[in-house]
Amino acid sequence: MNYVVMDLEWNQSTNGQDEAPGLPFEIIEIGAIKLNQKGVMVSEFNRLVKPAVYHEMHQITSRLIHLQMQELQRGDPFPEVMDSFLEWCGEQEYLFCTWGSSDLTELQRNMRHYNMTPLSEGPLAFLDVQKLFSLAFEDGKSRRSLETAVDFLKMEKDIPFHRAFGDAYYTAKLLTHILCEKPEVLDKISFDVFRPPVSREREVKVQFDHYFKYISREFADKAEALADREVMSSKCYLCHRNLKKKLKWFTLNGKHYYCAAYCEKHGYFKNKIRLRRSEAGKVFVVKTTRPITPEEMQALKARSEHAREMHRRRNRNHKKKKDFD
Ligand SMILES: [Zn+2]
């Protein structure tokens, strides 16, 4: 299997007023490096896109990437560049790799704008090299800039940053380094959810070594999502049993929900639900389940009590206000 390490540059509306519906960012450059299974660079891709939506350069874009509109006129229309990019990616199986998690979403958004055949029917698996770098060399949570990561590993900076090809090149070098030094973190696959699972059968369920991830299909709204049995269930992903909850679902902000359950064999588990809005305006759920210590269980319990107290207070104020009215 090959790795297609990709980076995009994009432009946006200069005033925010005349933003094209469904296309906040217009791709103006695609750069990529293909690595073989061993992490050896085998091929490169570098193309400019001729803008068709935003004809003025946003100041962030011009300051950051030093690309001018005149130069972009040498580019080709997006659908042409995209077709040759996919042809370059090849017939052999490959995995997209990017620095951070936004490139594949914007790529698919641009493809949709031109009614191109979707890259995938549902979530798209990829490697987020920014995340892998953190897992390999830091705490797994921090997110460094590309240049900081290159400096951290004392790599040679032989071409400029902030252009698609340059950034793809450095991302590829970092990935190669991770492949050699910390190959175990390569299991930490990410999913781009520009397209959520299309049906219950195609929902994503993946077990990692320290947690389990579930990406649901779309629901009409939050209430429907939170009424779904699979969404609200708490299972032990190690012995696959349905567990009785020790802490009922609670939320502090209405977006993230938590609950905890206990498996007699494997101990406490924390479930976290994130409600996400899909491009179609519907709701889907990303749920993670991970084992926690009894101490973490106590901390979670305190948070749930805090949430309940806040909820009670809100209701009381609401009632007071009503009485007053
Ligand atoms: Zn268990």
Token pair, residue 32, equals 């990529």
Kindly give the distance from the C-alpha atom of residue 73 to the centroid of ligand 1, in angstroms, as a whole number. Answer: 60
Same domain (yes/no): 176, 204: no
Q: Residue 222's pLDDT is what?
A: 95
Same domain (yes/no): 36, 63: yes
Residue 221 structural domain:
196-313
- Whether residue 200 is contained in a domain is answered as yes
- Whether residue 322 is contained in a domain is answered as no
Same domain (yes/no): 211, 97: no
- Whether residue 265 is contained in a domain is answered as yes
DSSP assignment letter at 242: B
Q: Residue 325's pLDDT is what?
A: 54
- Pick the last residue of a domain from 163, 190, 217: 190
Kindly give the distance from the C-alpha atom of residue 51 to the centroid of ligand 1, in angstroms, as a whole number. Answer: 54
Kindly give the distance from the C-alpha atom of residue 243 to the centroid of ligand 1, in angstroms, as a whole number. Answer: 8
Kindly give the distance from the C-alpha atom of residue 214 to the centroid of ligand 1, in angstroms, as a whole number. Answer: 17
Nearest-angstrom CA–CA distance, 281 and 220:
8
Same domain (yes/no): 83, 170: yes
Buried b (16+ CB within 10 A) or exposed e, 137-167: beeeeeebebeebbeeeeeeeeeeebbbbbb
Kindly give the distance from the C-alpha atom of residue 247 to the centroid of ligand 1, in angstroms, as a whole number. Answer: 17
Kindly give the distance from the C-alpha atom of residue 239 to the centroid of ligand 1, in angstroms, as a whole number. Answer: 4
pLDDT in tens, 238-265: 999 999 999 999 999 889 999 999 999 9
Q: Residue 62's pLDDT is what?
A: 73
- Whether residue 318 is contained in a domain is answered as no
Residue 125: CATH number of its domain? 3.30.420.10
Kindly give the distance from the C-alpha atom of residue 249 to the centroid of ligand 1, in angstroms, as a whole number. Answer: 20
pTM of structure: 0.89
Same domain (yes/no): 38, 182: yes
pLDDT in tens, 90-114: 999 999 999 999 999 999 999 999 9
- Whether residue 321 is contained in a domain is answered as no
Q: Which long-range contacts (CB under 8 A, 24 or more apart) does 233-238 make?
A: 234/259, 234/260, 234/261, 234/269, 234/271, 234/289, 235/289, 236/261, 236/263, 236/265, 236/266, 236/269, 237/207, 237/212, 237/269, 237/289, 238/263, 238/265, 238/266
Same domain (yes/no): 35, 99: yes
Kindly give the distance from the C-alpha atom of residue 204 to the centroid of ligand 1, in angstroms, as a whole number. Answer: 21
- Whether residue 223 is contained in a domain is answered as yes
Kindly give the distance from the C-alpha atom of residue 268 to the centroid of ligand 1, in angstroms, as a whole number. Answer: 9
Same domain (yes/no): 180, 233: no
- Whether residue 323 is contained in a domain is answered as no
Residue 22, judged by CB atoms within 10 A of its CB (0-12, 13-18, 19+), counts as: exposed
Same domain (yes/no): 148, 286: no
* CB 121 within 8 Å of CB 29: no
Same domain (yes/no): 48, 186: yes
Same domain (yes/no): 143, 220: no
Same domain (yes/no): 223, 268: yes
Q: Residue 315's pLDDT is what?
A: 84
Query: pLDDT category, 89, cuts 50, 70, 90?
Result: very high
Same domain (yes/no): 148, 37: yes
Kindly give the distance from the C-alpha atom of residue 196 to the centroid of ligand 1, in angstroms, as a whole number. Answer: 28
- Pick the last residue of a domain from 135, 156, 190: 190
Q: In what order do the strands lie in the sheet with 2-11?
A: 41-48, 26-35, 2-11, 94-98, 124-128, 190-192
Kindly give the distance from the C-alpha atom of residue 264 to the centroid of ligand 1, in angstroms, as a whole number. Answer: 7
Query: pLDDT category, 68, cuts 50, 70, 90?
Result: confident
Q: Nearest CA to 49 among 71, 23, 18, 77?
A: 77
- Whether residue 68 is contained in a domain is answered as yes
Tell me how many domains the chain contains.
2
- Pick the last residue of a domain from 161, 190, 219: 190
pLDDT(323) > 70: no
Kindly give the distance from the C-alpha atom of residue 141 to the centroid of ligand 1, in angstroms, as a whole number. Answer: 27
